[in-house]
A = this chain, B = another copy of it.
């Protein structure tokens, strides 16, 4: 996906407007997903400073991309001319922070990318001692959390790609294999099905499934195991997939497990159905949590219900208690309640959903039952 220039220009305009709204004079955005969102691409960041300098509405600072002369060719594919972004290069020996200071128009409030490394944060602090530094993430999240049609199409493609991997799960989860062996096969399938890489592969078998952030181990998968498989990665466009299913290996688990799983499935279903414009984020969390708590598993659901997704796997809006953000069309996030019995087993069901005009579209559609492989 090459983002149309008009769309990028609109993003830059909106970023400048949101910055002014937030009381910020200048945005300084180093390489990462914020920069990719604003410019439609972007090279890697090494120890040399590369950044977009973008004045807020009403602040006199022409948009500029500061980039090491050596790395300039890596930015040649972007429509910087059309966007009116001047390229300002520097060479080893020059002070790039003074260069930013020269371009900055004397800002009093400087917002930097949330991921900007401390080395650059302090370089800018010293070059612009009169500017109070804050985070640009909140300003840019206002743009990024509302996906346009092209972005939703990419997320839909990512969802379909990861669904194809889940559809092949019987190839990987076999008694006698370790989680790591299963994970290697899954990682290769993630790439084969259209991702540029496997960003994360969680195979939590048996008691390991009770640790929500367990990834892979040398534990051997056995018949009767309940296994949590939480996988995803980016497409070439940078947009990510993220989908969890829980499987039973070779035989159905005992009734107690199946009953708890049915509670989880009902909670995930209800939370997905709660998603629509006008509802706030915490209400989606509360919907899942109520059902799980009423069944007596409240203390076993140890994390938030979900996270936004796009160019980052985790981004706004977070589906968590206390988040009163009102959902709007185009917002995309995971709905992934879980139940974890420490030392025994765990289960989680995760779909990515996008808020539509009157409800939500699920981007994953593999069966949500406790499938026996």
Contacts and interface: CB of A to CB of B under 8 A. Distances in A.
Interface of A: 46-47, 69-71, 73-74, 91-93, 112-119, 121-122, 133-135, 137, 211-215, 302-304, 314, 320-322
A74 B204 CA distance: 13
Given A70-B213, A70-B303, 20 more contacts: A46-B314, A70-B212, A70-B302, A73-B213, A91-B302, A92-B320, A93-B322, A112-B118, A114-B119, A115-B117, A115-B119, A116-B117, A116-B118, A117-B118, A118-B133, A119-B135, A121-B121, A122-B133, A122-B134, A122-B135
B118 A213 contact: no
A93 B302 CA distance: 12
Contacts of A302: 69-70, 91
A118 B314 CA distance: 17
6 contacts: A47-B314, A74-B214, A74-B215, A115-B118, A116-B118, A117-B118
The prevalent SS among residues of A at the interface is loop
A323 B119 CA distance: 19
Top 3 A-B residue pairs of the complex, sorted by shortest distance between their CB atoms: A114-B119, A116-B118, A73-B211
A146 B302 CA distance: 43
Contacts of A71: 213
B121 A73 contact: no
Contacts of A215: 74
Contacts of A321: 93
A214 B70 CA distance: 9
Contacts of A73: 211, 213-214
A218 to B, nearest CB: 11
A69 B46 CA distance: 31
Max chain B CB contacts within 10 Å: which of A93, A119, A213?
Answer: A213
A327 to B, nearest CB: 20
Contacts of A116: 117-118
A60 to B, nearest CB: 24
Nearest to A125: B133
A38 B122 CA distance: 23
Contacts of A121: 118, 121
B93 A118 contact: no
Nearest to A322: B93
Nearest to A47: B314
Contacts of A212: 70
Contacts of A135: 118-119, 122
Contacts of A133: 118, 122
A219 to B, nearest CB: 12
Nearest to A73: B211
Contact of A92 (B118, B137, B303): B303
Contacts of A304: 92
A177 to B, nearest CB: 20
A43 B92 CA distance: 33
A117 B114 CA distance: 6
Nearest to A197: B197
A258 to B, nearest CB: 26
A134 B93 CA distance: 21
A73 B346 CA distance: 15
A205 to B, nearest CB: 14
Contacts of A112: 118
A116 B121 CA distance: 10
